[in-house]
């Protein structure tokens, strides 16, 4: 049985609802005006988050998009270029904020799985003419959402980041799901973040809080980010009410490995039935990308059949399905999903 209203929602890890413990913490949160730096719950969250990734400072933001954009705004100048993979969230799904807000453009690399090699980045930033934009920043996304929650390996990040540093670039990690990368690899968040000037991570994804993300970095960069946050209308007041569940989400981050186990169960269940449907090697964290073209029935029938059993899934085009695990789905829900596949087969 799913946890929420009998519905098992596999569309995204953003769909979790706050736990009773989180709701209680929201109701009881000590608050103050955070624009004056006087919300004790936010201050505690910022300290705990900075410590979790080994940075001196952090600023709480409403969304991951704002966290990424504050990093870009703080570390670039208008007219600069930012290097990232083609399918980066920061490039494709933030409504061109980098151009509209910070006046920068992206220089993209193919980046399958979110990965960029040292050679690729070296070639991309090898420029010496005044005709050309200044390339001033490299952005990693780890785990990489659109590739199906794939991990960018630490060793690759080390080698590629070194080349970027030699070229004078600053480095940001869009770590919306960095703790999924940690759970999958054993590399610590401090190690990943140690490669970058800034890292943002989301409380509202697999960590399971209702709202919020955080940007971590040096005191100077975070001070600059606070100005841009205010400029964008992100100066929030008695925001301890949302920082309180985020603190619980951060405290409980080790539970992400359970989501990975459920994703693996799901992937194996599908691959046992239809081997062409799932590339098991690509299932590294909490997402399973399914080629529904391998099923002998149309995707629409599957979506309808599952809906009839209270299972919600999302499609990525006519044949691809992305299934995401999180705190509010479990192994029983996987059984429920697979039973509908069996009925349609
Ligand atoms: C990798 C990545 N970065 C950033 C974001 C943006 O987060 P938000 O929706 O909180 O703006 C998302 C959201 O899905 C994401 O997947």
- The answer to whether 8-15+255-344 and 31-251 have equal CATH topology is no
For a mutational test of ligand 1's pocket, the pick from 202, 204, 314, i.e. the residue with the most ligand atoms closer than 8 A to its C-beta, is: 202
Average pLDDT over residues 191-206: 98
Domain locations in the chain as residue ranges: 8-15+255-344, 31-251
The class (CATH top level) of 8-15+255-344 is: alpha beta
pLDDT, tens digit, 9 for 90 and up, residues 92-101: 999 999 999 9
CATH hierarchy code of domain 31-251: 3.40.640.10
Of all atoms in ligand 1, which is nearest to the CA of residue 14? 14
CB of residue 148 inside a 6 A radius of ligand 1: no
- Mean pLDDT, the chain, rounded, equals 96
Q: Give the residue whose CA is nearest to atom 8 of ligand 1.
A: 64
Tell which residue, 296, 288, 258, has the closest CA to residue 270.
Answer: 288
Mutate to test the pocket of ligand 1, among 15, 64, 174 (most ligand atoms within 8 A of CB): 64
Residue nearest to atom 5 of ligand 1 (CA): 64
Higher-pLDDT residue of 126, 101: 101
Predicted TM-score (pTM) of the model is 0.97
Share of residues in the chain with pLDDT > 70 (%): 99
For ligand 1, the distance from its centroid to the CA atom of residue 132, given in whole angstroms, is 30
For the stretch 103-106, contacts whose Cβ atoms lie closer than 8 Å and that sit 24 or more positions apart, written own/partner, are: 103/77, 103/78, 103/79, 104/72, 104/76, 104/78, 104/79, 104/80, 104/136, 104/137, 105/81, 105/133, 106/81, 106/82
Instruction: Decide: 147 in ligand 1 pocket, CB within 6 A.
Output: no
Which tops the pLDDT comparison, 129 or 57? 57
> What confidence score (pLDDT) does residue 303 get?
94
To test ligand 1's pocket by mutation, which of 68, 86, 93 has the most ligand atoms within 8 angstroms of CB? 93
Q: Is the CB of 13 under 6 A from ligand 1?
A: no
4 — pLDDT class (breaks 50, 70, 90): low
pLDDT at 160 exceeding the cut of 90: yes
Please list, in sequence order, all residues whose beta carbon lies within 8 angstroms of the beta carbon of residue 148, skipping any fewer than 6 positions away: 282, 283, 284, 287, 288, 289, 322
Kindly tell me if the per-residue pLDDT of 299 is higher than 80. Answer: yes
Instruction: Looking at the CA of residue 141, tell me the nearest atom of ligand 1.
Output: 1
Q: In this predicted structure, what is the pLDDT of residue 2?
A: 44
Q: Which pLDDT belongs to residue 6?
A: 83
Arithmetic mean of pLDDT, 97-121: 98
Tell me the per-residue pLDDT of 209-236, one tens digit each, with 9 for 90 and over.
999 999 999 999 999 999 999 999 999 9
Which of these ranges, 119-133, 254-268, 300-314, has the smallest mean pLDDT?
Answer: 119-133
């Amino acid at each position: 049985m799913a946890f929420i209203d009998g519905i098992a929602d596999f569309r995204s890890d953003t769909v979790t609802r706050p736990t009773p413990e989180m709701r209680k913490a929201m109701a009881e949160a000590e608050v103050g005006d955070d624009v004056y730096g006087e919300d004790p719950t936010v201050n505690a969250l910022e300290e705990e988050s900075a410590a979790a990734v080994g940075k001196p400072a952090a600023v709480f933001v409403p969304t991951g998009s704002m966290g990424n954009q504050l990093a870009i705004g703080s570390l670039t100048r208008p007219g600069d270029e930012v290097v990232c993979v083609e399918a980066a969230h920061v490039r494709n799904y933030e409504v061109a904020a980098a151009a509209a807000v910070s006046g920068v453009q992206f220089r993209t690399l193919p980046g399958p799985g979110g990965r960029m090699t040292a050679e690729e980045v070296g070639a991309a930033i090898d420029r010496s003419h005044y005709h050309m934009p200044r390339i001033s920043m490299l952005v990693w996304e780890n785990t990489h959402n659109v590739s199906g929650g794939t991990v960018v390996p630490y060793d690759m990040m080390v080698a590629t980041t070194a080349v970027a540093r030699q070229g004078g670039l600053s480095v940001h990690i869009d770590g919306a799901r960095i703790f999924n990368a940690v759970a999958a690899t054993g590399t610590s968040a401090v190690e990943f973040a140690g490669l970058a000037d800034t890292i943002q991570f989301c409380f509202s994804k697999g960590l399971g809080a209702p709202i919020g993300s955080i940007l971590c970095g040096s005191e100077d960069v975070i001070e600059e980010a606070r100005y841009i946050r205010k400029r964008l209308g992100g100066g929030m007041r008695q925001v301890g009410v949302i920082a309180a569940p985020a603190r619980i989400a951060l405290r409980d981050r080790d539970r992400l490995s359970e989501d990975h186990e459920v994703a693996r169960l799901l992937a194996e269940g599908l691959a046992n039935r239809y081997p062409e449907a799932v590339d098991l090697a690509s299932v590294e964290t909490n997402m399973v990308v399914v080629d529904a073209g391998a099923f002998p029935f149309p995707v629409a029938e599957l979506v309808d059949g599952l809906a009839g059993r209270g299972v919600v899934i999302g499609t990525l085009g006519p044949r691809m399905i992305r299934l995401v695990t999180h705190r509010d789905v479990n192994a029983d829900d996987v059984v429920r999903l697979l039973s509908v596949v069996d009925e349609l087969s």
